[in-house]
Structure 1
């Protein structure tokens, strides 16, 4: 019996500096990612970047770490390497399914391995497996990045966090594509791959960040250097040549890094022969700087679409309203317009009527008055708003313009692009991205599809400058219907992709391939604003720029992938072959680094998904919305030789279907009610991750048969209501891993089947009895050297397919993100 409580002395309970709700410091740490280092070399209008990520296993068991992170959407990833224990392993680019199979096999054999995959043009995933206790593993990505140039300035933008995205659609059953907080849906079938867990607000700096950009003007006149959002230090004199800009210590991975470099640029044609293939093939890069002549002010139809969803709360909503009002104010009496605001529903100002209204002073005032009253709320149902806007614009001889103001934080990018591409031709789409961690990849693709421009606004200070730019784009472009042909230079047909249009203040950049000697010129042709023929001839100059080829390949791959997303499934073979031929990562391929040394027995015992920061500028969720902020312990692989009575493994977190409206009003993020059977945190504590339930807020239900704290097995209990779905998800995860083990040698496969039998037996006990599971578990647990591994493996696959409700499908028909 306790009859007194001894108070702690003040020195025994000092708070952790900078700690917030849910933060817990341990001597061994609690997150696998220790540091991120970005080193960039800017030369003229191209940047070469090396991204170094250091992972450490502070636990007592082998670990697999998963990290979902952003990269610039136009960057070409050309190399990947892993270093551990003084041993360097170069990554190899392979078809995505083959790379995953090689990675899974290496882990099952006890070898270190790492795999890098692209999930969106600006969202990537790295998995590092078989990190032994106490070990550090470093992975490096090498990429080449073109710098966009507009209105006299180049911009080096490097994203540092994947912001939460709205996930529409109905949840898909069966095997999930990843371990994120959102379930895969019919609208976003890989949602679980692009929704990493999010840290609680106020969590102490979990990752050391360093970023340095060395700038070489390369003969261009550099007038000044401007940094947005971050505090930086500069080494060297910008007027004297090379200099370096460094991020100040203590900055967090919660917003884009933006560096603006006002350069003087001119029209040019660079001819870059392939290395080692002089006189055979090469890459050309054409830049055309337009004259400052204003575009003709022809009457136009404009539909302004404003995102008012929950993720736009705070400064973003203020900036978006101001931007939309500025756009309305630029319209003239000969124009017609409409204003649409969307969240879960689409609304418009009733005073303007259902269709396009004349842009009179009275109507423009009514529109601005309506915009001033809008507040953030609800989900981000962008597709229905865009379809309604396109329908309003219809078809006709007038210039038709759609302007979208949003943060772009949606997961169904491919679906939106496909539906917009199928709409009436001739609608010009401009996008204005408002966020400190904007979805630039999607907004750039959408604007490119609509032959328009994308303008990014990362702060209110930048808004006025950005709106001056976008106002000039909304009018008719200077030149349309562009085409390019060689003059003494043999261009490879189709290699230049979509050329777009020529806008005031925006140099046109065209990259493509040529054959033969690097000599000659190109001729750019089109129609000016008055419909008259326009032509520009540019003579080429041979240059040595190794980044030219991968930058072109990345642009080519993005064009092919957008056409694939729009419905042309015949392009898959060309996408894969282009990626492999030029050594540039895409969504259909992956870099895999496989160590030859065996460091453990079997695969890692735990899988941890690295949580990411809440983006800067996003309003902290209210208490009711707290379940969206969590860290995740994904499904652990089996410990070799686990006893039949051991506790079965955790399942990967899977979010329930969104609540009505699809989001919390305060955040716009998908809702996830807290099930009664959840632990205090979303992840279980235990020997390897003792504080997992403390650094997180509850998120997902414990899977059937999950172990309790300190590794104590859960006692058998009646299956609670709704546990059948949890059981199916658990079995679907076992099925996924079983299929991956199909490439193991027969002896290794038998051992894996024996381990599987022990886990299925424990799961049957937890459920209070399950005849099919018990029968399969008994047979698998008795396997011996004389058993037929193939027959047993096929039987186990068939049984798990039936019990999980996830029948097999031919590999050739599976989506590329599930191979």
Structure 2
């Protein structure tokens, strides 16, 4: 790595962040996270430390405090500019101050400034946030503690394209992590899994509804920490009513009770087994430089772009005849295989696959906005609902702009998004899916991309849920104000969380009811949940804060949609709600000043930027202050004769704020000479997976041809395959049944990947109305050494 303009080198020069302690409390579907960051200034000068770090994109930061020695300082939420000025003024007066603010570009990036930490002094920063837990395909709830903040690509021509996430190889991150979790639910906790080593799960009570778990000793904070939590009877809907804050005014969000309803609609299996035979499927694939990395650097694994190529193969083979499709790829620029979406056929599929095989991570940066605009500018095809699949490692700096664009076009398509690798922006991936009425998936560590993507394709092919409505039945004296935006999409196994403010009081014995109605494939359905209006005990204000966060995000998006068209009334609402609830927003910041500190801190401040882990280094031209470790700036201020600091002029304040603002304008530079990557080296590609080899031979119609390539994929010679064919059997019918027997008999562990294309093959066989099917299945089992029954093949 280069040492540019005073950046910290890799010689382990000290940085102030020494350790991070994280305590997680999971209650059913939501989590409260308390992080303690411990600093120590071992230098001989006062220090200003800047730490840019990721949080989940939908997290609601609700507490921030600092402890220096025996002094505890609790931060307040204030309008962002006001908070920044108070921070600058405090430092100018030699006071200790702390500033926590959310990036204006992406809600999953925060910056913590620790100001005026004297030589030899220690500080402990406590940060608390609440977040919803996403439901996975196997009913597990996913919690992710982001460790990796990838450099975020800043689009060309955007304002303030500059630096600020300083990164070092994960093995050299100079701070440690301790992590523990407590899980409780009305239902028993069946298991907790992680991508990191855990100590055994400890149950606290005999019914197993409460448990604790922690990371095993010796964990290095070199990757996102992911927990998967499983409950028994996971699909049972629930409702929690939380009492308002005693000190808050009645009639306000924090003063009234708030209810959180968790719903799992049940879909009839008969309807869900039918798949659509139409649609326009648009695939948008990231080909930026970082897609050349492997997902899991502790193990030899194929590159992200290689995995994306294999996934596109499965997708193209699984599409139904009669649909339309196109494939876009992007980096600094974007490309498409066809000028516009084309009808799916053997010819168009073959041409697309030839292009896919040539895809490499060679398009530079991550300009996702322009290809999205181009896709949305294409007219929709009548009676072919548009389904957009986006694959990216999520390293963009204009997250909010991308999400806004998806929302603007939400009435013309559904968006399914996939975050690839450590550090993918949860705000981007979840935001695109949420606003596009689709589904989000994350592929990290040893996860295979293919099964998760094929599951989303099944969602896209299922009949669309329409006419969704939510109604409340409450006692006459209780009224309801829904805080959540309308539900736009429902998928099998997908949970919907609804927050609502309840006004007026009711007897504790009173009940409420919420009903969700919808239509699926012409069949009207409804789900009902009855719940007690008595507030639950010991819930803190978690539900209120999540409800406030939901409302804040909706208002922020409304403000961006109408920016320049009104007098800022929406922004004022956001600031007011953020201050009242103590929950972060893009227009506010947490500010804490130690006004009791009688000793004025002497000497110029030295700025230190705390490095975050990365898996690659770039050789950067001198003009860019990116990468390496820490930036050193002399933030000294003019002195009076008595050595006290002068109050800075407005120009000086503006200069300081400009330096701080730059820290969110982070970007990644590609198409530059790459330095060696000690951890991210991708091994030589192994021979093609036999499953993918077989899949690659399937025709667009769903059948296989009887040829030497198929015999080789089945592990047999052409002579053996020909000799075993029943005399009256059609060659393509025989080949297709052999392929299906091989899949069902030898590859059931990968059924999620090939199920859709096998269904297409079965449909083709039925359409042939061919004789000798039973004889072909029997002969195929003998040839391949399997025992697959005809019924298993749905023939």
Q: Same fold (TM over 0.5)?
A: yes
Tell whether the 8 Å contact from 1:113 to 1:129 is kept in structure 2 after alignment: yes
The structural deviation recorded for 1:639 is 5.4
Tell whether the 8 Å contact from 2:148 to 2:612 is kept in structure 1 after alignment: yes
CA root-mean-square deviation: 3.3
Measured in 2, the distance between the counterparts of 1:437 and 1:51 equals 19
Distance 1:537 1:237, change over 3 A: closer
- The aligned residue for residue 30 of structure 2 is 46
- The aligned residue for residue 378 of structure 2 is 392
Tell whether the 8 Å contact from 2:322 to 2:344 is kept in structure 1 after alignment: yes
Instruction: Say yes or no: does 1:577 pair with 2:551.
Output: no
Measured in 2, the distance between the counterparts of 1:423 and 1:395 equals 15
Unaligned runs of 5+ in 1: 1-20, 173-183, 186-190, 670-819
- The aligned residue for residue 558 of structure 1 is 553
Unaligned runs of 5+ in 2: 1-7, 295-303, 642-651, 678-795
- The aligned residue for residue 391 of structure 2 is 405
**1:747-762 alignment, distance < 5 Å:** none
- The aligned residue for residue 535 of structure 1 is 526
The structural deviation recorded for 1:660 is 13
> Alignment partner for residue 280 of structure 2, among 301, 305, 311?
301
State the Cα deviation string for residues 421-470 of structure 1 (Å, max 9, x = none).
33472311110111111101111111111111111111343434423432
**1:234-249 alignment, distance < 5 Å:** 234-237=200-203, 240-249=208-217
Instruction: Say yes or no: does 1:284 pair with 2:259.
Output: yes
Measured in 2, the distance between the counterparts of 1:334 and 1:98 equals 58
- The aligned residue for residue 498 of structure 1 is 486
- The aligned residue for residue 77 of structure 1 is 61
State the Cα deviation string for residues 533-561 of structure 1 (Å, max 9, x = none).
44333212243333111111112212222
Distance 1:150 1:548, change over 3 A: same
Tell whether the 8 Å contact from 2:41 to 2:119 is kept in structure 1 after alignment: yes
- The aligned residue for residue 258 of structure 1 is 226
The structural deviation recorded for 1:520 is 4.1
Moved more, 366-375 or 622-631: 622-631
- The aligned residue for residue 764 of structure 1 is none
Scaled by the length of structure 1, what TM-score is found? 0.69
Tell whether the 8 Å contact from 2:153 to 2:667 is kept in structure 1 after alignment: no
State the Cα deviation string for residues 783-812 of structure 1 (Å, max 9, x = none).
xxxxxxxxxxxxxxxxxxxxxxxxxxxxxx
> Where does structure 1 differ by over 6 angstroms across 4 or more consecutive aligned residues?
277-280, 622-627, 648-651, 657-662
Measured in 2, the distance between the counterparts of 1:314 and 1:471 equals 25
The structural deviation recorded for 1:55 is 1.3
Tell whether the 8 Å contact from 1:634 to 1:652 is kept in structure 2 after alignment: no
Instruction: Say yes or no: does 1:355 pair with 2:340.
Output: yes
State the Cα deviation string for residues 594-631 of structure 1 (Å, max 9, x = none).
112133346752111112211xxx44546989984322
Instruction: Say yes or no: does 1:206 pair with 2:135.
Output: no
Instruction: Say yes or no: does 1:116 pair with 2:100.
Output: yes
Measured in 2, the distance between the counterparts of 1:376 and 1:334 equals 31
Measured in 2, the distance between the counterparts of 1:343 and 1:285 equals 41
**1:7-22 alignment, distance < 5 Å:** 22=9
Distance 1:491 1:343, change over 3 A: farther
> Alignment partner for residue 333 of structure 2, among 342, 345, 365?
345
Tell whether the 8 Å contact from 1:82 to 1:137 is kept in structure 2 after alignment: yes
Tell whether the 8 Å contact from 2:279 to 2:383 is kept in structure 1 after alignment: no
The structural deviation recorded for 1:164 is 0.5
- The aligned residue for residue 220 of structure 1 is 187
> Alignment partner for residue 548 of structure 1, among 526, 543, 552?
543
State the Cα deviation string for residues 382-409 of structure 1 (Å, max 9, x = none).
1111122223362644321111011111
Measured in 2, the distance between the counterparts of 1:528 and 1:197 equals 50
The structural deviation recorded for 1:317 is 1.8
State the secondary structure of the residue aligned to 2:411: coil
Measured in 1, the distance between the counterparts of 2:424 and 2:675 equals 16
State the secondary structure of the residue aligned to 1:170: coil
Tell whether the 8 Å contact from 1:310 to 1:668 is kept in structure 2 after alignment: no
State the Cα deviation string for residues 328-358 of structure 1 (Å, max 9, x = none).
3331113211111111222123xxx422222
Count matched residues.
614
- The aligned residue for residue 728 of structure 1 is none
Tell whether the 8 Å contact from 1:233 to 1:247 is kept in structure 2 after alignment: yes
Moved more, 374-383 or 142-151: 142-151
Instruction: Say yes or no: does 1:664 pair with 2:653.
Output: no
Measured in 1, the distance between the counterparts of 2:258 and 2:117 equals 41
Instruction: Say yes or no: does 1:613 pair with 2:619.
Output: no
State the secondary structure of the residue aligned to 1:633: coil
Measured in 1, the distance between the counterparts of 2:201 and 2:404 equals 46
Tell whether the 8 Å contact from 2:608 to 2:632 is kept in structure 1 after alignment: yes
State the Cα deviation string for residues 700-752 of structure 1 (Å, max 9, x = none).
xxxxxxxxxxxxxxxxxxxxxxxxxxxxxxxxxxxxxxxxxxxxxxxxxxxxx
Measured in 2, the distance between the counterparts of 1:117 and 1:49 equals 17
- The aligned residue for residue 314 of structure 1 is 293
State the secondary structure of the residue aligned to 2:328: strand
Measured in 2, the distance between the counterparts of 1:661 and 1:621 equals 8
Measured in 1, the distance between the counterparts of 2:555 and 2:601 equals 42
Tell whether the 8 Å contact from 2:57 to 2:425 is kept in structure 1 after alignment: no
Measured in 2, the distance between the counterparts of 1:215 and 1:360 equals 51
Distance 1:623 1:46, change over 3 A: closer
> Alignment partner for residue 80 of structure 2, among 54, 77, 96?
96
Measured in 2, the distance between the counterparts of 1:498 and 1:160 equals 33
Distance 1:575 1:365, change over 3 A: same
The structural deviation recorded for 1:231 is 2.4
Distance 1:658 1:426, change over 3 A: closer
Distance 1:45 1:639, change over 3 A: same
Instruction: Say yes or no: does 1:232 pair with 2:240.
Output: no
Tell whether the 8 Å contact from 2:245 to 2:256 is kept in structure 1 after alignment: no
Tell whether the 8 Å contact from 1:57 to 1:132 is kept in structure 2 after alignment: yes
**1:126-275 alignment, distance < 5 Å:** 126-151=112-137, 152-170=139-157, 172=159, 184-185=160-161, 192=163, 195-199=164-168, 201=169, 204-216=172-184, 218-228=185-195, 230-237=196-203, 240-263=208-231, 264-275=234-245
State the Cα deviation string for residues 627-664 of structure 1 (Å, max 9, x = none).
84322334322255499xxxx99995989x99999643
Measured in 2, the distance between the counterparts of 1:510 and 1:565 equals 23
Tell whether the 8 Å contact from 2:281 to 2:324 is kept in structure 1 after alignment: yes
Moved more, 35-44 or 531-540: 531-540
**1:588-607 alignment, distance < 5 Å:** 588-595=587-594, 596-601=596-601, 604-607=604-607
> Alignment partner for residue 629 of structure 2, among 628, 631, 645?
631
- The aligned residue for residue 712 of structure 1 is none
The structural deviation recorded for 1:51 is 0.5
Scaled by the length of structure 2, what TM-score is found? 0.71
The structural deviation recorded for 1:91 is 1.1
The structural deviation recorded for 1:270 is 2.6
> Quick one: higher RCO (CA 8 Å, sep 6+), 1 or 2?
2
Tell whether the 8 Å contact from 1:39 to 1:51 is kept in structure 2 after alignment: yes
State the Cα deviation string for residues 254-288 of structure 1 (Å, max 9, x = none).
42111111222312333223133899722121222
- The aligned residue for residue 372 of structure 1 is 357
**1:434-445 alignment, distance < 5 Å:** 434-445=420-431
Measured in 2, the distance between the counterparts of 1:486 and 1:660 equals 48
Distance 1:642 1:170, change over 3 A: farther
Tell whether the 8 Å contact from 2:46 to 2:602 is kept in structure 1 after alignment: no
Distance 1:531 1:323, change over 3 A: same
Measured in 2, the distance between the counterparts of 1:540 and 1:394 equals 43
Measured in 2, the distance between the counterparts of 1:346 and 1:433 equals 19
